[in-house]
Chain A
Amino acid sequence: MSNESSRLEVHFDTLKEISNIGTGHAVTALSQLLQRNFRMSVPTVNFVEFKDVANFVGGPEALILAVLVNISGDMNGIVMFMVKQDSAHNLINILLGSTTNAYEDENSFSELELSTLTEVGNILVSSYLGSLAAMINKKIVPSVPQLAADMANAVLSVPAIEFGRVADKALFIESLFGTEEENVKGYFIFVPEMESFERSFKF
C-alpha cells in the first residue's frame, strides 16, 4: 500500500458516511426534479485499485457513459459518475418517459439522450458534492460537466492518470436506485487531491 493511499484510508469511515448521505441526497434531488418516487439501496463504498475498477463496471472494453466533474475551491480533485449502457438506457427511459426497451443499436445514443445523461450526472455529482461541502463546512466548486461514452478502461484512464501521480487506489461508490419499472446501477469515483483533502478534513 502506498503512503498516499493509506493517508486517504485513514478517513475511510468518514468518507463512507459522507458517501451514504451524499448519494442519498443525490437521488433525492433527482426524485424531486422528476416528481417520481425513487427507491435506493445503501451504497457500497470501497477503496479499489485503479486497475480493478473496470472489472466492477463490466470489463475493460465495456461501453460506459461517464460524467466527469473537476472540483476546486477548498478541495481539488475529480468526481466521476458512471453507468453501464443498460442502466443508461433505463435512466433515459425514466427521464424522457420512453416506454420502449428496444434499441436498434445498443451502443448508440442520440444527442438528446447524451445531453440528458450529462445533466443527470451533473445533478447527482453536484448534490453529492453539496453534502460533502456542507458536512465539512468548506467551499467546493464543481466545474462544467463533461460526458464520455467509450470503453471503460479508456474513460477510467483520465481519473487513473490524475490519481496515478500519487497513489493507485480510488474511493469507489456503487449505488442502486430506480423507479418501480426501471433499475439503475450507478457508480461514483471520488479522487481528491491529497493536500487539499487533508486540509479540509482538519476538523
Chain B
Amino acid sequence: MMSSKMIIVGMADLNVCKSPGVLTTLGLGSCIGIAFHDNVHKIAGLAHIMLPDSKQIQNNSNVAKFADTAIVKMLQDMGRMGAQRQNIRAKIAGGAQMFAFTSTSPSMRIGDRNIEACVNILNMLRIPILANETGKTYGRTVELYADTGDFIIKTIGHGTFTV
C-alpha cells in the first residue's frame, strides 16, 4: 500500500526530500497540507499546519504548527537542499469544516482561516498556487511526489485524485 520511501509528515510537522522521495500526511481535517515543489531540481516539501498565525499564540515554539512560520522554514530547508526559490510552486489541500456548527465560535471556522492565511502568505511571497483543494466537509490524505510534483489526494467516500 505504502512504498518504503514514503516519508510521513505528522500533525504540526514538516519535511523535505529529493526525487524519488515521496512525502505524505494522513487525515488532514481543518489543518492544511502545504506542498512545495521545485520541478527543476526535483525537490519537494510538505507541511501539515494547524493554525494560521504564530504571532497570535503564546505556545508557538513549534514552527511547523503555523502557516506563517512553516512556509518560511520549508523554503529554507528546500533551499539548503538545492532548490531555487523562483522554481517553487505550491499546491494546498485541507481546511475542511469537519463539524457542521453554525456557531460563531472562531475555532469552528478554523479551516477557513487556515486557507485564507496560506493563500495570503503564498501570494505575498509570490509563490504560484497550482492547485487549491481546500474547504468542504471531508478529511484528506495527501501524497507529494518529488520527481513529478504530483499531489495525490485521497478521501473516504469522495474519491482519490491527482492534481
**Interface of A with B (CB < 8 Å)?**
2, 4, 50-51, 54, 60-61, 63, 68, 70, 107-108, 143, 146-148, 150-158, 160-162, 164-167
Instruction: Point out the residues of chain B lying under 8 angstroms from A70, CB to CB.
Output: 101, 103, 105, 108
Can you list 11 A-B contacts with CB-CB less than 8 angstroms, sorted by A residue number?
A4-B59, A50-B11, A148-B98, A150-B156, A151-B141, A155-B29, A157-B11, A157-B98, A158-B99, A158-B108, A165-B59
The docked-state distance in angstroms from the alpha carbon of A70 to that of B104 is 12
Cβ of B152 < 8 Å from any Cβ of A? Answer: no
In the bound complex, do residue B12 and residue A164 qualify as a contact, i.e. CB atoms below 8 Å apart? yes
Instruction: Point out the residues of chain B lying under 8 angstroms from A60, CB to CB.
Output: 26-27, 141
Task: Tally the A-B contacts, defined by beta carbons under 8 Å.
Answer: 96
Known A-B contacts A158-B30, A165-B51, A166-B59; A150 and B139 likewise in contact (beta carbons under 8 Å): yes
Instruction: Point out the residues of chain B lying under 8 angstroms from A108, CB to CB.
Output: 157
Cβ of B110 < 8 Å from any Cβ of A? Answer: yes
Instruction: Point out the residues of chain A lying under 8 angstroms from B50, CB to CB.
Output: 157, 160-161, 164
Cβ of B14 < 8 Å from any Cβ of A? Answer: no
Query: CB-nearest residue of chain B relative to A154?
Result: B139
B45 to chain A, nearest CB (A): 20
Instruction: Point out the residues of chain B lying under 8 angstroms from A160, CB to CB.
Output: 11, 50
Query: CB-nearest residue of chain B relative to A150?
Result: B139
Cβ of B43 < 8 Å from any Cβ of A? Answer: no
